[in-house]
């Protein structure tokens, strides 16, 4: 059994990664239904929270059915981060996660996200003060290092553990790599194999098949997998991995009816949560994967991703179900 303080998780839990404009309550609900053991919110700007910016505060919405759920924050200014912690606690998450891994330029240029990997002492100091500030378990998501010449993740993880974090998720790339090339899990395994480490070590990056998850578990000995891009438009990925763990075989892919139903529910929940305009816009990125593999599908995909009216998108779903009802997914 894997534990984040008192939160008991199954052997080799699957975690939904915090992804901007992806890991919102509607999508988290779908992933939870399909077996995600822990879900994280989209990452939230500490500066945005303390300024009461609407885009940041709405991300604090969590629901009982999601638990255990973590709220992830990012920033590089101590005072702002501590004030943000006070705000986050009011939403009563199970976990507070610190983002030390986002590679996006607008985050990095403020020394936040993966930018802080250039200043490990600051990274450790921020973490220590946040742990002192809250009674909730604090976890960290980070990368191997800034570049291949500065990978010190074994030392960094140990120092973060020593100041009180209760789990760490590590993406197997440097910031300079962004999402290019293959993720390297060997340094993550080195963190896990450090005899001084006693907190869970979760791997992230390129867990895009059930076989990859098995490899991360059995060959690299990690405590769990954090799933990101493989889940976009594919909440069934969690169920597929767990089925493979149990049986060694691949689960039957969801039918067309199941895919359309999930897409409809996803869009409706998004509209209910964030309104018509944003609900329609921010759900678009999922449709390619919901209906991946269908030949001659461009006409319908274009309707889904270009319409600003939900009625048109729902109508496109109906058309797809009628025209491709008998399509067999590989």
286 is annotated as contributing to ligand binding: no
248 is annotated as contributing to ligand binding: no
171 is annotated as contributing to ligand binding: yes
141 is annotated as contributing to ligand binding: yes
Query: How far apart are alpha carbons 287 and 260 in whole angstroms?
Result: 10
Cis status of the peptide bond prior to 42, with omega within 30 of 0: no
Report helix, strand or coil for 322.
helix
Q: Are 126 and 98 in contact (CB under 8 A)?
A: yes
Which of 9, 15, 73, 102 is catalytic? The answer is 102
Q: Are 46 and 80 in contact (CB under 8 A)?
A: yes
Torsion angle of alpha carbons 44, 50, 56, 58, nearest 10°? 120
Q: Is 102 a catalytic residue?
A: yes
Name the binding residues for FMN. 72, 141, 171, 228-229
The set of catalytic residues is 102
């Amino acid at each position: 059994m894997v534990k984040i303080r008192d939160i008991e998780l199954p052997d080799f839990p699957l975690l939904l990664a915090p992804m901007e404009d992806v890991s919102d309550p509607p999508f988290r609900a779908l992933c939870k239904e399909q077996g995600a053991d822990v879900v994280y919110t989209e990452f939230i700007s500490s500066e945005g929270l303390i300024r009461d910016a609407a885009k940041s505060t709405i991300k604090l919405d969590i629901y009982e059915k999601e638990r255990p759920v973590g709220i992830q924050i990012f920033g590089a200014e101590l005072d702002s981060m501590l004030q943000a912690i006070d705000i986050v606690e009011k939403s009563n998450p199970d976990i507070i996660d610190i983002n030390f891994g986002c590679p996006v330029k607008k985050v990095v240029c403020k020394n936040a996200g993966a930018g802080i990997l250039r200043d490990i002492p600051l990274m450790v100091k921020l973490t220590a003060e946040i742990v002192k500030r809250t009674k909730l378990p604090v976890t960290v998501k980070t990368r191997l290092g800034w570049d291949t010449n500065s990978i010190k993740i074994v030392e960094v993880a140990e120092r973060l553990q020593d100041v009180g974090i209760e789990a760490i998720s590590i993406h197997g790339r440097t910031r300079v790599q962004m999402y290019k090339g293959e993720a390297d899990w060997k340094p993550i395994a080195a963190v896990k194999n450090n005899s001084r480490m006693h907190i869970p070590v979760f791997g992230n990056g390129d867990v895009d098949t059930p076989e990859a998850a098995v490899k991360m578990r059995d060959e690299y000995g990690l405590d769990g997998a954090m799933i990101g891009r493989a889940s976009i438009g594919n909440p069934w990925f969690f169920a597929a991995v767990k089925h493979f763990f149990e049986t060694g075989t691949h689960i039957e892919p969801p039918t067309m009816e199941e895919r359309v139903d999930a897409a409809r529910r996803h869009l409706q929940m998004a509209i209910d949560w964030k309104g018509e305009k944003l609900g329609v816009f921010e759900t678009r990125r999922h449709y390619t994967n919901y209906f991946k593999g269908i030949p001659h599908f461009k006409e319908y995909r274009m309707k889904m991703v270009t319409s600003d009216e939900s009625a048109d998108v729902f109508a496109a779903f109906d058309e797809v179900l009628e025209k491709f009802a008998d399509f067999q997914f590989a």
